[in-house]
Amino acid sequence: MSQFDQDTSPEALRVAVLSWLDTHWDGENRRPLTEPAYDRRHWRQQVLAAGLAVPSWPPEWFGLGMTSAQCKVIEKAFAERNAPGTGLDRYHLGAITVFKAGSDALKREMLPELLTGPICCLLYSEPNAGSDLAGIRTRAEQDGDQYVINGQKVWTSNAREADYGMLLARTDWDAPKHRGITFFLFPMRQAGVEIRPINQITGESEFNEIFIENARVPERFIIGNLNEGWGSFQTAIAYERLIMGQGITGRRRNSPTRSRPPLLELAEKTHKLSDPVVRQRLAQALAYREVNSLNNERAMTEMMTKGSMSLMSLSKLAMSRIQHGEAAIATDLLGPEALLDGPDNSDAANTNFDAAKAYMNSIGGGTDQIQRNIIAEKVLGLPKEHEPDKGIAFREVKSGTGPRTAG
Amino acid sequence: MADMGLLGIVISETCGGIGGSDIDAAVVAEELGRSLLPVPFIETCVMVPSLLESGDITEETQDILSAIVRGTATIAIGGNTALAPYRDPNSTLKLNSDGSVSGEVSLVMHGAHADFLLLTFGSDAQTRCVLVSSDSGYDVDKQTANDPALRPATIKLNNTPCTALTGLRKDDLERARLRGVAALSALQAGAARAIFEITIDYLKTRYQFGRPIGSFQALKHIAADLFLEVESATSAAHAAANALASADPLAAKSVALAGFICNDAFRDVSAQAIQLHGGIAYTREHVAHLYWRRARATLSMLGDSDTHRETYLGAWETAA
Ligand SMILES: Cc1cc2nc3c(=O)[nH]c(=O)nc-3n(C[C@H](O)[C@H](O)[C@H](O)COP(=O)(O)OP(=O)(O)OC[C@H]3O[C@@H](n4cnc5c(N)ncnc54)[C@H](O)[C@@H]3O)c2cc1C
């Protein structure tokens, strides 16, 4: 039984977590007390064993059955001691999806593994299936208790670091497009998986092209049921959008967290903080951010009390307006300096980076246009547009730049 | 509303009210916004009680508070200070040496029918607040408003007897103003949501080209964006009410935020509602123009969006 009691007060919980950390973690040197250096897997195993990796999950599934308020207390305590490893129930897309959509057997086998080390990438998009994701044509064919995968994926972030990929592949070509897809937990490190980095407009190359040729995945690694992958995938994509709507994709990774909004500092530095037009724009930008977190708070409550995701669906769209808007203001604050770049011109470089990076939010995880379609249809209940491919066997559907070659 | 006790929603129990908080006031205001009821709720039931209860309590103020609760006293506010819902820069109000009040003030909403006027004038540094009973004799010129439900008036006073409110500190005046803005924001959030829902219903039922117009993506995307405005207005209005109710030291910042977010949301949602309805909303029979007119009328009430934005940014500068 766990030492962290669900019925405890927030303060008592904080004390219990801190005291657990104090017997396990050396915050100053950022390593477990018992070990000479930080080893991600070893440390995560300890956190997981204590239930602190995924505190909101039930005790029978590696968690502590904590409320989201209690999880916040735990996350704060970890932050206080400079310790990593909690909150995977909020951020680890792969583990969350397996937990929510996987069979008990898969959960038992793979969650301890997923929660202690491996990185998961998202093998969804293909050259001819972006917004129209259900049009994927990567194929999975059964061979004994395995599936053989062939096809091409693209824009796969962090594929080179990943041990597993959450793979959407077609298993039935005669069913309509949403109904012939299966969702797999796909082992990335095997022959038949070729990864080619793509250079991004930010100067980074996080995402990749993936060529899959006769690679294999065990049947028991199907997340959910055969041909019902579209449903399981909804869980994964909902969490991804939720995470994006909290705005963690925004800034350059190593920018310091300051108490004063960066835009205010930039306005001061560029001597424009007293310009009334600039002040109006700054106020509006800060307001969009504050209102988005207020919306998110309401969304959390709504989700907990009514199980409704309707408010949640807004935050990713709102985040696009925030990120693009802030980058536009920063560009104007810098004036001609914004044409510069490189380490000698860090304000310009940061601003140009932010301006480019904002597209990650407005394109990745479903474009703003697709988000608006979803809000209008799923939340507001507006009728769908004419869908020429509805109900048609997938092998008959046109895609990309012409008719699809049949599977 | 009096029967339900709603008029005394923020008035203390000792004065016959419910003793509710700004959160309760926001709930009522949201509903008033939805229905567009043209009543001086914000003035009579939020701002005036806030002033009366924070200043010196006299027999007269007690009586007025009970009358508000019973529904027998409506109060309009006019003047040239930040407390006036519609600030009249040309107001000539002044206090005479005998304690009476003279001068002219326009843009006094509900001024023609109110049982009392609360007149506020002077400078922001030295704001005067006096109460004038409608029995005490003054002239009223009705003004014509763009929103047919609203009745502003010009009030002309000539040595009219009045009661000066005493014991009010600057903070008390500012608090009454903040509470007014918070209630107004809730009203706007409720109104924006109402006309939004009316519009979404129409998009589902109006057919053109053999399909519901709501299936056209150009309209869907506007609807999704407006939904963000509506929800943001609700969030901002609730946050402002919460901040006031919990005496948050940053309450003025939350109120300023709600001030412009709700102003702009109501304006944009009601304006797009007409466009999304097409010709039917260009007629006086349809309700859309009533929301649109009310939105335009509230844009400058208790401070315009630009002023709120400036206040909000100023609060960020001092907070950080
Ligand atoms: C930084 C970044 C990281 C990414 N990471 C991953 C990842 O890890 N894994 C992964 O699988 N994918 C990833 N993606 C891919 C991303 O999900 C797709 O780029 C996105 O879904 C859009 O698809 P597309 O690029 O094919 O554009 P298209 O679908 O071709 O869209 C082109 C344009 O048409 C518009 N459009 C398309 N359909 C409609 C419609 N029905 N209504 C209105 N407008 C429409 C779009 O909004 C867009 O403006 C990433 C993308 C980015 C930018």
Q: How far is it, in rounded angstroms, from Cα B207 to Cα B205?
A: 6
What pLDDT is recorded for position A1?
45
B218 close contact with A: CB closer than 8 A? no
With CB atoms and an 8 Å threshold, state whether B317 touches A264: yes
| φ, ψ (nearest 5 deg) of residue A86 | -100, 175
Mutation site, B231, B248, B304, interface A, largest A CB count within 10 A:
B231
**Partners of residue B231 in chain A, C-beta under 8 Å:** 295, 298, 311, 314
Dihedral sign, CA of B245, B247, B248, B249? positive
With CB atoms and an 8 Å threshold, state whether A279 touches B214: no
Question: Do both B17 and B157 map to the same domain?
Answer: yes
Q: CA gyration radius for chain A? A: 23
Q: Does position A51 have pLDDT exceeding 50, yes or no?
A: yes
Q: For a substitution probing ligand 1, which of A97, A119, A125 has the most ligand atoms within 8 Å of its CB?
A: A125
B117: left (phi over 0), alpha (psi -120 to 50) or beta: beta
What's the token pair of residue B306? 């630009």
What pLDDT is recorded for position A309?
75
Q: Does position B307 have pLDDT exceeding 90, yes or no?
A: yes
**Partners of residue A369 in chain B, C-beta under 8 Å:** 221
Question: Do both B255 and B115 map to the same domain?
Answer: no
What pLDDT is recorded for position A2?
66
> What's the whole-number average pLDDT of chain B?
96
Q: Smallest CA–CA separation between A243 and chain B, in Å?
A: 18
What pLDDT is recorded for position B37?
95
Q: Does position A233 have pLDDT exceeding 90, yes or no?
A: yes
Question: Do both B126 and B232 map to the same domain?
Answer: no
Q: Cα(A133) to centroid of ligand 1, in Å?
A: 9
Q: What is the dihedral of CA B240, B244, B246, B252, to 10 degrees?
A: 80
With CB atoms and an 8 Å threshold, state whether B223 touches A380: yes
Sequence-ordered alpha helix ranges (H) in A158-261 = 229-245
With CB atoms and an 8 Å threshold, state whether A297 touches B235: yes
Question: Do both B188 and B289 map to the same domain?
Answer: yes
Taking CA atoms, B318 is separated from A264, A283, B250, in Å, by: 12, 14, 10
Catalytic residue status for A240:
yes
What's the token pair of residue B70? 């019973």
- Mean pLDDT across the stretch B115-135? 93
What's the token pair of residue A251? 């800034």
B217 close contact with A: CB closer than 8 A? yes
**Least confident among A238-247, A385-394, B35-44, B75-84:** A238-247
What pLDDT is recorded for position A327?
97
Catalytic site residue from A113, A240, A265, A337: A240
Is B25 in contact with B9 (CB distance < 8 Å)? yes
End-to-end CA distance of chain A: 52
Question: Do both B146 and B192 map to the same domain?
Answer: no
Domain stop point among B122, B144, B168: B168
A287 closest CB neighbour out of B225, B234, B261: B261
The H or E element spanning position B108 is: strand B101-109
Predicted confidence (pLDDT) per residue in A174-210, tens digit: 999 999 999 999 999 999 999 999 999 998 888 999 9
What pLDDT is recorded for position A131?
95
- Mean pLDDT across the stretch B267-291? 97
User: What percent of chain A is predicted at pLDDT more than 90?
Assistant: 77
Q: How far is it, in rounded angstroms, from Cα B31 to Cα B229?
A: 18
Residue carrying the six token digits 């049982």:
B115
Q: Does position A253 have pLDDT exceeding 50, yes or no?
A: no
User: Alpha carbon B239 to chain centroid distance?
Assistant: 17
Residue A261's pLDDT band (boundaries 50, 70, 90)? very high
With CB atoms and an 8 Å threshold, state whether B228 touches A318: yes
B142 close contact with A: CB closer than 8 A? no
Predicted confidence (pLDDT) per residue in A334-366, tens digit: 999 999 999 999 999 999 999 999 999 999 999
B309 close contact with A: CB closer than 8 A? yes
Q: Cα(A378) to centroid of ligand 1, in Å?
A: 19
Q: How far is it, in rounded angstroms, from Cα B116 to Cα B76?
A: 6
Question: Do both B54 and B178 map to the same domain?
Answer: no
Q: Does position A399 have pLDDT exceeding 80, yes or no?
A: no
What pLDDT is recorded for position B320?
64
Domain stop point among B150, B168, B186: B168
**Side-chain-facing half-sphere of B76: CA atoms under 13 Å:** 27
Q: How far is it, in rounded angstroms, from Cα A159 to Cα B206?
A: 48
Domain stop point among B146, B168, B190: B168
Residue A95's pLDDT band (boundaries 50, 70, 90)? very high
Q: How far is it, in rounded angstroms, from Cα A184 to Cα A167?
A: 5
Residue A257's pLDDT band (boundaries 50, 70, 90)? very low
Q: Cα(A365) to centroid of ligand 1, in Å?
A: 7
A282 close contact with B: CB closer than 8 A? yes
Question: Do both B254 and B293 map to the same domain?
Answer: yes
For residue B207, the cross-strand partners are: B212
Q: Smallest CA–CA separation between A144 and chain B, in Å?
A: 46
**Least confident among A100-104, A139-143, B211-215, B316-320:** B316-320
With CB atoms and an 8 Å threshold, state whether B235 touches A383: no
Q: What CATH number does residue B196 fall under?
A: 1.20.140.10
For A286, name the nearest residue in chain B, comparing CA atoms only. Answer: B313
B268 burial (CB, 10 Å; 0-12 / 13-18 / 19+) is middle
Question: Do both B101 and B240 map to the same domain?
Answer: no
Q: For a substitution probing ligand 1, which of A324, A367, A372, A390 has the most ligand atoms within 8 Å of its CB?
A: A367
What pLDDT is recorded for position A405?
53
Beta-strand pair B127-133/B163-164: antiparallel
DSSP 3-state assignment of A281? helix
Residue A303's pLDDT band (boundaries 50, 70, 90)? confident
**Total of domains in chain B:** 2
Q: What is the dihedral of CA B12, B69, B237, B244, to 10 degrees?
A: -20
For B319, name the nearest residue in chain A, comparing CA atoms only. Answer: A260
Sequence-ordered alpha helix ranges (H) in A52-210 = 68-80, 88-91, 93-101, 104-114
Q: How far is it, in rounded angstroms, from Cα B121 to Cα B95?
A: 9
**Partners of residue B238 in chain A, C-beta under 8 Å:** 294, 298
- Mean pLDDT across the stretch B15-44? 95
**Cβ of A128 less than 6 Å from ligand 1:** no
Q: CA gyration radius for chain B? A: 20
Question: Do both B217 and B162 map to the same domain?
Answer: no
What pLDDT is recorded for position A304?
74
Q: Does position A55 have pLDDT exceeding 80, yes or no?
A: yes
Please give the model's pTM, rounded to 2 decimal places: 0.91
Q: Which fold has domain A119-227?
A: Butyryl-CoA Dehydrogenase, subunit A; domain 2 (2.40.110)
**Cβ of A207 less than 6 Å from ligand 1:** yes
What pLDDT is recorded for position A60?
95
**Cβ of A367 less than 6 Å from ligand 1:** yes
Question: Do both B102 and B207 map to the same domain?
Answer: no
Q: What DSSP string runs through B146-161?
A: SSTT--EEEEEEEEE-
Q: Which domain holds residue B311?
A: 171-319
**Side-chain-facing half-sphere of A61: CA atoms under 13 Å:** 21
Predicted confidence (pLDDT) per residue in A139-165, tens digit: 999 999 999 999 999 999 999 999 999
Question: Do both B84 and B213 map to the same domain?
Answer: no
Predicted confidence (pLDDT) per residue in B195-233, tens digit: 999 999 999 999 999 999 999 999 999 999 999 999 999
- Mean pLDDT across the stretch A107-112? 96
Predicted confidence (pLDDT) per residue in B242-253, tens digit: 999 999 999 999
- Mean pLDDT across the stretch A97-101? 95
What pLDDT is recorded for position B291?
98
- B155, amino acid identity: I
Neighbouring residues of B286: CB distance < 8 A, sequence distance ≥ 6:
B277, B280
**Side-chain-facing half-sphere of B101: CA atoms under 13 Å:** 30
Dihedral sign, CA of B266, B272, B277, B282? positive
Q: What DSSP string runs through B139-200?
A: EEEEPP-SSTT--EEEEEEEEE--EE--S--HHHHHHHHHHHHHHHHHHHHHHHHHHHHHHH
What pLDDT is recorded for position A400?
65
User: What percent of chain B is predicted at pLDDT more than 70?
Assistant: 100
What pLDDT is recorded for position A71?
92
Better pLDDT: A5 or A146? A146
Dihedral sign, CA of B249, B250, B255, B256? positive
Q: Cα(A367) to centroid of ligand 1, in Å?
A: 5
B1 domain-assigned: no
For A267, name the nearest residue in chain B, comparing CA atoms only. Answer: B317
End-to-end CA distance of chain B: 43
Dihedral sign, CA of B83, B89, B90, B96? positive
CB atoms within 10 A of CB B172: 17
With CB atoms and an 8 Å threshold, state whether B235 touches A282: no
Residue A404's pLDDT band (boundaries 50, 70, 90)? low
> What's the whole-number average pLDDT of chain A?
91
Q: How far is it, in rounded angstroms, from Cα A207 to Cα B299?
A: 47
- Mean pLDDT across the stretch A248-266? 65
Q: What CATH number does residue B96 fall under?
A: 2.40.110.10
What pLDDT is recorded for position A308?
73
Predicted confidence (pLDDT) per residue in A30-45, tens digit: 999 988 889 989 999 9
Question: Do both B302 and B287 map to the same domain?
Answer: yes
